[in-house]
């Protein structure tokens, strides 16, 4: 039994009006943001290294999914806002000491850039479009027949913009690579800046979320790719990310247990406390260790469906965000 000495009326339940300020919306936002960041990093890196033909899905198809993930992640974030009409005030200043300011400006840059890259890839992804299904394209595209579009732009300004973007595609990719890394780390650094929450207040969280984002992104590419060579490569990438993620988790708990009383208490929520089973079973074992075992079996020549390990990794990454969000708000300093 644990005894606490009450030295303030704030210890009474219900005195503090809001103990859980963040809910499922933030967990979804952090998951989708991390997944999109991982996909963007792979897209930029493998395109810059001229691997488009070898890893077609990672370089040409994933930008569309990255754009959608960012849009839905921002929608979840917008739902969470209490003063929705004033979100624009984040962009009236730049505070380099604020992770939230870094995140807001990073999203402002990276979202339009990945959407632009998605549009530039459309010609290659869909060389011929059924005109009857996409009538809206009549506004900007010249049809070659009654039902086929061959992507000949109607307006000279559109051609000029496309030409300019294609000439500067490498600059766009370098920006996406840099901002993708920032976005992946920011999702963890945002939490680590909250000193009042001992579970979040660790420098490991930024690297952990970046690695988790890269792992879930590799798993997503495995899930949608049809190229066996690409699937095998990203399975190897995912295995490396899983090993790094496990190391960071162990390192994080070792840091907690060697720190102050409140951080030891935060660690104990996962070492016999209320989050023990869900974290070690669903995140560590089913989301990391089991997929790693399945991927190793696959490398050894055993017939294992790669989609199983991919789904497990994605599920583990999602559950990780939910646990960190809720457990972090349960960790506290005594008044």
Could you tell me which of 68, 58, 3, 13 has the C-alpha nearest to residue 36? Answer: 68
CA distance 314 to 293: 16
CA distance 68 to 126: 18
Give the chain's mean pLDDT: 84
Could you tell me which of 293, 290, 291, 213 has the C-alpha nearest to residue 248? Answer: 213
Answer with the residue of higher pLDDT: 149 or 233: 233
The domain ranges of the chain are 20-330
174-218: per-residue pLDDT in tens? 999 999 999 999 888 888 887 778 888 888 999 999 999 999 999
Cβ(110)–Cβ(180) below 8 Å: yes
Question: Predicted confidence band at 153 (pLDDT cuts at 50, 70, 90)?
Answer: low
pLDDT for the residue numbered 129: 57
Helix axes 228-257, 261-268, angle to 10 degrees: 130
Which residues contact residue 139 at a Cβ distance below 8 angstroms, ignoring those fewer than 6 apart?
A: 154
**Which residue reads 């009857």 in tokens?**
132
Structure tokens at 41: 């990093």
- Which top CATH class is 20-330? mainly alpha
């Amino acid at each position: 039994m644990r005894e606490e000495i009450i030295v303030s009326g704030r210890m009474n339940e219900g005195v503090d009006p809001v103990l859980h300020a963040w809910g499922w919306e933030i967990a979804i936002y952090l998951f989708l943001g991390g997944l999109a960041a991982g996909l963007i990093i792979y897209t930029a890196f493998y395109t810059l290294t001229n691997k488009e033909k070898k890893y077609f899905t990672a370089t040409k198809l994933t930008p569309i999914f990255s754009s959608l993930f960012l849009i839905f992640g921002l929608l979840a974030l917008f739902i969470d806002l209490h003063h929705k009409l004033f979100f624009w005030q984040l962009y009236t200043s730049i505070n380099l000491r604020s992770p939230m300011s870094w995140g807001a400006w990073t999203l402002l840059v990276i979202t339009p850039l990945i959407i632009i890259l998605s549009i530039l890839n459309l010609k290659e992804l869909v060389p011929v479009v059924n005109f009857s299904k996409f009538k809206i394209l009549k506004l900007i595209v010249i049809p070659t027949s009654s039902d086929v579009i061959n992507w000949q732009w109607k307006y000279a300004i559109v051609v000029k913009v496309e030409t300019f973007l294609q000439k500067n595609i490498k600059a766009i990719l370098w920006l996406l690579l840099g901002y993708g890394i920032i976005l992946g780390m920011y999702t963890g650094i945002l939490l680590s800046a909250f000193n009042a929450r001992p579970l979040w207040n660790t420098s490991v969280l930024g690297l952990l979320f970046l690695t988790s984002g890269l792992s879930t992104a590799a798993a997503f590419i495995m899930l949608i790719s049809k190229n066996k060579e690409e699937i095998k490569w990203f399975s190897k990438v995912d295995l490396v990310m899983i090993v790094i993620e496990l190391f960071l988790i162990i390192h994080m708990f070792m840091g907690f247990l060697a720190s102050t009383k409140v951080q030891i208490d935060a660690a104990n929520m996962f070492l016999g406390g209320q989050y023990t089973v869900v974290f070690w079973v669903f995140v560590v074992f089913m989301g990391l260790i089991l997929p790693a075992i399945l991927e190793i079996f696959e490398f050894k020549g055993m017939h294992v469906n790669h989609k199983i390990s991919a789904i497990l990794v994605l599920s583990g990454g999602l559950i990780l965000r939910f646990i960190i969000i809720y457990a972090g708000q349960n960790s506290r300093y005594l008044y």
